[in-house]
Amino acid sequence: MLVLCGFAFSNYYNKVKLALMEKLIPFEEELIWTGKPAFEAGSPLGKVPFLKTPQGIISESDVILEYLEQQYPDVPLIPRDHFQAAKVREINTYLNLHLELSARSIYPEAFFKRPVSEEVKASAQKNLKRFIPVLNELAAYTPYIAGDQFTIADCSAIVHFPLISLATKLIYGEDMLAATPAKEYSDRMKKMPSMIKINEDRKANQVLLMEKLAPKPA
Contacting positions for ligand GSH (CB under 6 A): 10-12, 34, 46-49, 60-62
Q: What is the dihedral of CA 199, 100, 153, 46, to 10 degrees?
A: -70
**43, 5 in Cβ contact below 8 A?**
yes
- Closest distance of CB 159 from ligand GSH, Å: 10
At 191 the three-state DSSP class reads coil
Comparing CB distances to ligand GSH, the nearer of 5 and 147 is: 5
State how far the Cα of 146 lies from the Cα of 115, in Å rounded to an integer.
36
Residue among 47 and 121 whose Cβ is closer to ligand GSH:
47
Supply the DSSP symbol for 144.
B
CB of 99 to ligand GSH, least distance (A): 13
Q: At a CB cut-off of 8 Å and minimum separation 6, what does 68 contact?
A: 16, 19, 20, 23, 25, 77
Give me the least distance between CB of 184 and ligand GSH, in Å please: 25
Complex with ligand GSH: residue 34 or 199, whichever CB lies closer? 34
The residue (of 62 and 69) whose beta carbon lies closer to ligand GSH is 62
Minimum distance between the CB of residue 148 and ligand GSH, rounded to whole angstroms?
26
